[in-house]
Amino acid sequence: MSALIAAEAAIFTIFVVAYLFYVGKSLSGPTPREVLSPPFFYTFCLLSSSLTIHFASRSLRRWNVRRFGAWWLLTITLGAIFLYGTASEWHRLIYRDGLTISTNLFGTTYYSLVGLHGFHVVVGLVCLSTVMVFTLFGAVKQEHAEQIDVLSLYWHFVDAVWIVVFTVVYVIGR
């Protein structure tokens, strides 16, 4: 998983580099300052989900499958809220502000970077939900703690990437 994370990190790095390279270079169209407002609430949700997944993982290691299931469900919910936040922000950007991926360089780099991250959140949620289903069927037990840890590592990575994306897009880029 660490090796996979290294590979994914390299992919994200290139998109971040492209984003930073093109800051301020758009020839037209809405600028970040005009249309972006930092999504603090949704960020808080996503970052908290790292905490909740940590608790889930710890519960499972301590043989507490029910508590694990509860924390796990909370993680999924927080992740889903974050996705909703991204979706609503995109809706606003497209329909109110007229910013799409083809509008200008800002649009291109913004949607691709945030979209790539969102895609990884979706993949993560699919995996987490699958585990949720298995848990509900009683198939997840303490001996799976190590595998749960591997999956949590992925989820932590997704959150860490968001910290970078948030900084680059909403702080530096504006």
Partner 1 sequence: MSTESIAWPTTTAASPSFVDHLHKWVTTVDHKRLGILYIVYALIFLVIGGVEATVMRIQLIRPHNNFVSPQVFNRMFTMHGTTMIFFVAMPILFGFANYLIPLMIGARDMAFPRLNAFGFWMTAFGGLLLYFSLIGANGLYGAGNAPDVGWFAYAPLTSQTFSVGHSTDFWTLALLVSGFGSISTAVNIVATVLCMRCPGMTLAKMPLFAWLNLVMAGLVILAVSPLTAAQIMLLLDRYLGAHFFDTQAGGSAVIWMHFFWIFGHPEVYVLVLPAFAFASEIIPVFSRKAIFGYPVMVGATVAIGFISMSVWAHHMFTVGMGANANTFFVLSTMAIAVPTGIKIFNWLATMWGGKIEFKTPMLFCIAFLFQFLIAGLTGVMMSAAPFDWQLGNSYFVVAHFHYVIVGGILFTLFAAFYYWFPKMSGKMYSEILGKLHFWLFLIGFHLTFDFMHVPGLLGMPRRIYTYEPGRGWDSWNLIVTIGVFFQAAGILVFLGNLLWSYYRGKDAGSDPWDAWTLEWSTNSPPPAYNFASIPVIKSRRPLWDLKHPDDPDWKYE
Residue 11 makes contact with partner 1 by CB under 8 A: yes
**Cβ distance 144 to 69 under 8 Å?**
no
Residue 105 makes contact with partner 1 by CB under 8 A: yes
Task: Give the E-state strand segments of 6-76 in sequence order.
Answer: none
Tell me which of 52, 57, 75, 109 binds partner 1, using CB under 8 A: 109
Task: Determine the Cα–Cα distance for residues 117 and 114; give it in Å rounded to an integer.
Answer: 5
Which 82-101 positions form the footprint of partner 1 (CB under 8 A)?
100-101
Which 116-145 positions form the footprint of partner 1 (CB under 8 A)?
116
Q: Which is nearer to partner 1, 4 or 163 (CB)?
A: 4
Q: Which is nearer to partner 1, 72 or 162 (CB)?
A: 162
Residue 26 makes contact with partner 1 by CB under 8 A: yes
Least separation in angstroms between residue 171's CB and partner 1 is 22
Q: What residues make contact with partner 1 under the rule CB under 8 A?
A: 3-4, 6-15, 18, 21-22, 25-27, 100-102, 104-105, 108-109, 111-112, 116
